[in-house]
Amino acid sequence: GCGNNAEKPKSDIKVAMVTDEGGVHDQSFNQSAWEGLKKAEKDFGIKVSYVESQQDADFAPNFETLLDAGNDLIWGIGYKLSDALLDAATNNPDQLYAIVDFSYGDKTPDNVVGVVFKAEQSSFLVGYIAGKMTETNKVGFVGGTAGDVIWGFDYGFQAGVQYAAKELGKEIEILNQYAESFSDVSKGKAIATQMYQQGADIIFHASGDTGNGVIEAAKEQDKWAIGVDRDQNYLAPDNVLTSAMKRVDVGVYNVVKDLVEDNFPGGQTVVYGLEEGAVGIAPTSDKHVPKEILEEVKELEKKIIDGEIEVPYNEETFKEFMKTL
C-alpha cells in the first residue's frame, strides 16, 4: 500500500523520525537527518517532526507514537534502531518506514527502505589527504566503540593512507586506538595527545563526542585533526584539516522526495556514495589542503565511482585491498 500519495495534497504529507540516544541536536547524523527533513519541509511543503530516544528500550514505543500520529513515512536514524524498525514494519505493513545506516538486504520488507552510506569512501579520501600531507609519516585513527560501522571508517581511512604512501613511495605508520566510548571527551583527548606526542601529525576520528577531545588535542598541540560525518571545521577552524562527510541529510531528503513524487523505493536498500554526492570531503577542505591534492582527490573520486578502486570496509576486504595495491 505505497502508491496513494498522489491524491493527497502535499501539505497533508507527514514525515517523522526517531533519533537514537544522541538526540536531534547531536551535531552528527541525527541532526543531519533532521536538517534533511527540514529542507524537505521547506521545499515540498510537507510536515515533519521527531521523537528522541533516551535509551534503547525507547525505540519501539517511539515508533508507535509516530505511527499513531498518522505519519506517512517514519524514519529510524541509525543502525541501532534496525530491530525495532523491522518489528514495527512487520506489524504495520501499511505504514512506510525508512532507516538510515542499515540494510536488511534481501529481506527488506516492501514498506521499508534502507539508506546506507559508503562512509569508507569518504574515509578513504581523507586518508589519502592525510597520507599526502603527513610530514612525520605517522597518522592516527581514533575510533569510538568498536563495531561494524566504525570499522568502515577505520579500514577506509587506512586504505586511503596506504594508497597515498604507495604513490609517494614511502611507508606511513598508522596509529589506531579505540576509546570504547562515544562520549568520553577526556579519553579522546588523551588518546590523541598521546598519538601526537608519538609523532603523528594528522588524526582522523570517528568517535562522536569523544572526537571533541581529539579536535581539542589538535588545537592545543597545533596539529591536524580530521572531522567526521559533518563539516567539523567550525570546531577548530585552524586545525580541522578536512572532514569525512556523510550527507545523511541528502539521503533523507532524496527518499522523502521520492515519496512526494510517489516513487517510494519500498523493499530496497538505497546505497549512497560518492556518486550520489552523499559522501565526500568537507567543502572547507580548500582552507588547508593544497589545490594539487584536492585535484588528485577529485580523480580518486572518479576512480572509486567507476569501480576502479574498491574501498575496503572491514578487515577482510582491507586485506584483499592491500594485495591488489
Partner 1 sequence: MKRNRFIMIGISILLGLIVGAIVLLIAGFNPLEAYGVMIKGVFGSPKYISWTIIRSTPLILTGISVAFAFRTGLFNIGAEGQFIIGSLVATLVGYFVKLPPIIHPIVALLAGALAGALWAGFAGLLKAKFGINEVITTIMLNWIALYFSNFMVFTKAFKRPNKDASHRILESASINVLGKWKTSEAGKAFLVEHKFWKEFLNPPVNYGFIIAILVAMLIWYILKHTTLGYQLRAVGFNKDAAEYGGIDVKKNIVVSMMIAGALSGLAGATQVLGVSKETAILAIMEGYGFDGIAVSLISGNNPIGCIPAALLFGALKYGGSKLQPAIGAPFEVINIIIGIIVFFIAMPKLVEMIISYREKKRGGEVESIK
Partner 2 sequence: MKALNDLGIILGISLMYAAPLMYTALGGVISENAGVVNIGLEGMMTIGAFTGAAVSYFTGNPWLGFLAAGLSGGALALLHAVACVTFAADHVISGTAINFIGPGLALYLCKIFFDGAAMTLPLDLNHKIPRPLDRFFSTNSFWNSVLNQYATVYIAFLLVILVWFILYKTKLGLRLRSVGEHPRAADTLGIDVFKIKYLAVILSGILAGFGGAALSIAVVSNYRISLISGQGFIALAAMIFGNWKPQGAMWGCLLFGIAQGLAVYLGGTSLKISSQILAMIPYIITIIVLVFFVGEATGPAANGIPYEKDQD
Per CB under 8 A, residues contacting partner 2 are: 23, 25-27, 146, 175, 177-187, 189-191, 193-195, 197-198, 208-209, 212-213, 216, 219-220, 234-236
| Segment contacting partner 1 by CB under 8 A, of 64-72, 106-114, 217-225, 254-262 | 64-72
Query: Of partner 2, partner 1, none, which one sits near residue 82, judging by CB under 5 to 8 A according to partner kind?
Result: partner 1
Subset of residues 128 to 147 that bind partner 1, contact rule: CB under 8 A: 144-147
Phi and psi, residue 275, nearest 5°: -55, -40
Residue 88, all three cell numbers: 514495527
In angstroms, how far is CA 128 from the centroid of its own chain?
18
Supply the minimum distance, in Å, between the C-beta of residue 208 and partner 2.
8
Within the chain, strands assigned E span: 14-18, 47-51, 73-77, 96-100, 112-117, 138-143, 173-178, 202-206, 224-229, 240-246, 269-272, 279-281
Residue 324 contact, options partner 2, partner 1, none, Cβ 5-8 Å cut-off depending on partner type? none
The CA–CA distances, whole Å, from 100 to 38, 77, 169, 253, 279 equal 16, 5, 39, 12, 14
Angle at the Cα of 179 from the Cα atoms of 242 and 317, rounded to 5 degrees:
70
User: According to CB under 8 A, which one of 2, 15, 40, 51 is a site residue for partner 1?
Assistant: 51
Which one of partner 1, partner 2, none is in contact with 154 (Cβ closer than 5 to 8 A by kind)? none
Q: In this structure, are strands 240-246 and 279-281 parallel, antiparallel, or unpaired?
A: antiparallel
**Binding positions for partner 1, 148-207, rule CB under 8 A:** 148-149, 180-183
Of partner 2, partner 1, none, which one sits near residue 51, judging by CB under 5 to 8 A according to partner kind?
partner 1
Distances (CA, A) of 96 to 86, 146, 194, 250: 11, 31, 48, 19
Q: Considering beta carbons, is residue 59 or 196 the nearer one to partner 1?
A: 59
List contacts with partner 1 (CB under 8 A): 16, 21, 49-58, 60-62, 64-66, 68-69, 79-80, 82-83, 91, 144-149, 180-183, 208
